[in-house]
Amino acid sequence: MRRTPIKYVLIFLVPSLIGFLLFNIIPILSSFGLAFSEWNLMTPIRFAGLNNFKVMFFQDPIFWPSLGRTLKYTSLSIPLGIVTSLVLALAMNRPLKGISIFRVIYFIPYVSSMIAVSMMWKWLYNDQFGLINTFLSYLGLPAQNWLTSARMVIPSLVLMDVWKNAGFGMLIYLTALQGIPEQLYEAAKVDGANSFDSFFKITLPLLGPAHFYMLVTGLIGAFQVFDSVYTMTRGGPGFASRVYAYNLYQAAFREFRMGYASAMAWFLFLIIFVVTLLQFKKLGGKVQYDVI
């Protein structure tokens, strides 16, 4: 078989590579340079060494708390998200008639715009007129201050995030579930296993690769939470939902501190990189990709 000459390969790749270079590589490199500079768009870029990081770590009173809030958000959204996706996938993994309609229904929120979903949920969460509080009142339960209480605001944001993204996780787990051979379950039944046993001893471990994927991508996404906060609470009430990415956005586009915002972005990248690396090192080896 004749191999395509390398020059044709390159020619067809070049337009896409140029786009990648212009809109991804160059901005990333520029932002790295900006992380060590000061720039407010109005005056020329000024080299500032490690000053941005010094301010970030030691002088900015809102920096570390915002990282804490992002961690709090992540620690809630990852477990809840994974469990919800798994439960949905198990429920959808049946050869019932019309099951594909349900799969589509659960997947639709994932393809909707986060901004549109946020605006809708902002109304659902409304203290006085929102559907959720109205529904609670029918059940005789007290209304909650979903977005207006410092205690509830992050869990509320997590709940909406899980609702929106569960469909995608369901898809991942569904595919993985269908890759588990039936013989294993049959063999287990022969050995006297009940459904509890077969779930925890067969299903769950063999979903290892899916768990790993959900964990890695979930963490990467959760650390960057922004859209829902910007649309629903603007960081409020007070500082309660001032997450890391929100401060980054404010610094860049409200305060025109491009250098500082770039430094924040690169620190976030560092955190996510280290976390992902740790996951690969500690958990990657334990995941089984081949079943038999």
Q: Which spans of this chain sit near another protein (rule: CB under 8 A)?
A: 8, 11-12, 14-15, 18-19, 22, 40-43, 61-62, 123, 126-130, 145, 147-150, 235-239, 242, 247, 250-251, 253-257
C-beta of 221 vs 237, nearer to another protein: 237
Strand partners, 46: 38
C-beta of 207 vs 251, nearer to another protein: 251
Nearest distance from C-beta of residue 121 to another protein, angstroms = 13
Hey, which bits of the chain come out as E strands?
A: 37-38, 46-47
The residue among 221, 205, 195, 180 whose CA lies nearest residue 74 is 221
- H/E stretch holding 46 reads strand 46-47
Contact by Cβ (8 Å): 243, 70: yes
Q: Which 8-state DSSP code applies to residue 39?
A: -
Nearest distance from C-beta of residue 183 to another protein, angstroms = 51
CA dihedral 31, 267, 252, 73 (to 10 degrees): 140
Contact by Cβ (8 Å): 82, 214: yes
Query: CA 4 to CA 175: how far, in whole Å?
Result: 34
Nearest distance from C-beta of residue 43 to another protein, angstroms = 5
C-beta of 18 vs 141, nearer to another protein: 18
C-beta of 200 vs 256, nearer to another protein: 256
Nearest distance from C-beta of residue 37 to another protein, angstroms = 14
Nearest distance from C-beta of residue 5 to another protein, angstroms = 10
DSSP assignment of 160-174: HHHHHHHHHHHHHHH
C-beta of 13 vs 99, nearer to another protein: 13
Q: How far is CA 16 from the centre of its chain?
A: 27
C-beta of 143 vs 268, nearer to another protein: 143
Q: Tokens 């829902």 identify what position?
A: 228
* Cβ atoms within 10 Å of 5's Cβ, excluding its own: 9
Nearest distance from C-beta of residue 123 to another protein, angstroms = 7
